[in-house]
Amino acid sequence: MIELKHLGKTYRTADQEIVALDDINLTIRDGEIFGIIGLSGAGKSTLVRCINLLEVPTSGEVLVDGRSLTKLSRAELLKLRQSIGMIFQGFNLLEQRSVLRNVCFPLEIAGVNKQEAKKRARELLELVGLSDRETSYPSQLSGGQKQRVAIARALATNPRYILCDEATSALDPNTTRQILELLRQINKDLGVTIVVITHEMKVIDQICDRVAVIDHSHIAEEGRVSEVFTNPRSEIARNLIIPRERTVLETDGGKRLRLKFDGETTSGPHIAEMILACQAPVSILMANTKELDGVIYGYTIIELPTDSHQADKIILWLRNSGIAFEEVE
């Protein structure tokens, strides 16, 4: 379990103080995939680096399996880092080492003998599907392959945790899906707890169990992905989930509603039924569905007619049919 308690990080330069993190409280449970999403500059990269103390927090505590990292000696910290793997946006492989020797690197540092390290590295390359590339060098690999090597390297010392810092941001959508699938599989098969930092909602959708939304150095909200997705409470979460209004067409200026479907209400031609029942036209401005944990969630943004009588009729119909909705700007 990773616990962040009242975590703060302030950078001090000669003439100003920059607050990167302020009073962050999070608990990441064993075995889950935890997402941290935010726009660039929100503090998410600093946050993930506090978990293995690559960044030293200026206040608060980081507890990994109950041990407070800031209280460890340097030697203890280096040892503990072997139980927390990390992968990066830029892969960060050693360019002058072959694929096999890159995966062996953490084992070399952990003091594992060469033969054993090679054996373990080969198993991991098999796991990430790169058995045939062990003698290649990073410059001969594609981005997706490099990230697979980085994942194998992160797994070498059998870590309990893996931190992913924008691990798929430099990859194309197809490769992103494959890498996320691999992480999901590692989480399931090896029981490794994974922390994912990203600015992309689709990454959270695809693999995370829970998510924290970070904005301006604070946690804006936190919860199960399905909850945050269907019912975002903070403005930043809404912005990340629902693309900006500029994608909405020019309209008549009627009331806009966001209808929320939570699995039980997802199936069925609700909009059509509503229009038939109320005998009133509506415009669909935007709609989306996502599958999370096998349940289909979705939302539809509709614009009601400007005629208030017709609009009231629709609102009444929605209330009676049990479809959750809220008015939006």
Asked if 57 is part of the footprint of another protein (rule: CB under 8 A), the reply reads: no
With contacts defined by CB under 8 A, name the span among 83-91, 214-222, 225-233, 249-257 that binds another protein: 83-91
Exactly one of 86, 117, 149, 228 binds another protein (CB under 8 A); that residue is: 86
Report the nearest approach of another protein to the CB of residue 198 (Å): 17
Report the nearest approach of another protein to the CB of residue 276 (Å): 58
Report the nearest approach of another protein to the CB of residue 75 (Å): 9
With contacts defined by CB under 8 A, name the span among 27-35, 77-85, 175-183, 242-250 that binds another protein: 77-85
Instruction: Name the token pair of 300.
Output: 């539809």
Asked if 18 is part of the footprint of another protein (rule: CB under 8 A), the reply reads: no
Report the nearest approach of another protein to the CB of residue 230 (Å): 35
Exactly one of 7, 34, 42, 52 binds another protein (CB under 8 A); that residue is: 52
Q: What track of x and - describes contact with another protein for positions 154 through 183 (by CB under 8 A)?
A: ---x-----x--------------------
With contacts defined by CB under 8 A, name the span among 59-67, 90-98, 166-174, 180-188 that binds another protein: 90-98
Residue 194 to residues 51, 146, 160, 186, 249, Cα–Cα distance (Å): 12, 19, 9, 9, 40
Between 88 and 299, name the residue whose CB sits nearer to another protein: 88
Between 161 and 299, name the residue whose CB sits nearer to another protein: 161
Between 163 and 211, name the residue whose CB sits nearer to another protein: 163
Report the nearest approach of another protein to the CB of residue 111 (Å): 11
Tell me which residues in 99-138 interact with another protein (CB under 8 A).
Answer: 105-106, 108-110, 137-138
Judged by CB under 8 A, the number of residues near another protein is: 32
Report the nearest approach of another protein to the CB of residue 316 (Å): 57
DSSP collapsed to 3 states, the chain:
CEEEEEEEEEEECCCCEEEEEEEEEEEECCCCEEEEECCCCCCHHHHHHHHCCCCCCCEEEEEECCEEHHHCCHHHHHHHHCCEEEEECCCCCCCCCCHHHHHHHHHHHHCCCHHHHHHHHHHHHHHCCCHHHCCCCHHHCCHHHHHHHHHHHHHCCCCCEEEEECCCCCCCHHHHHHHHHHHHHHHHHHCCEEEEEECCHHHHHHHCCEEEEEECCEEEEEEEHHHHHHCCCCHHHHHHHCCCHHHCCCCCCCCEEEEEECCCCCCCCHHHHHHHHHCCCCEEEEEEEEEECCEEEEEEEEECCCCHHHHHHHHHHHHHHCCEEEEEC
Rounded to 5 degrees, what are φ and ψ at 20?
Answer: -95, -35
Exactly one of 10, 19, 39, 90 binds another protein (CB under 8 A); that residue is: 90
Asked if 73 is part of the footprint of another protein (rule: CB under 8 A), the reply reads: no
Dihedral class, residue 32 (left if φ above 0, else alpha if ψ from -120 to 50, else beta): beta
Report the nearest approach of another protein to the CB of residue 197 (Å): 13
Cβ atoms within 10 Å of 252's Cβ, excluding its own: 9
Tell me which residues in 221-280 interact with another protein (CB under 8 A).
Answer: none
Question: Which residues contribute to the site for another protein (CB under 8 A)?
Answer: 52, 54, 78-82, 84-86, 88, 90, 92-98, 105-106, 108-110, 137-140, 150, 153, 157, 163
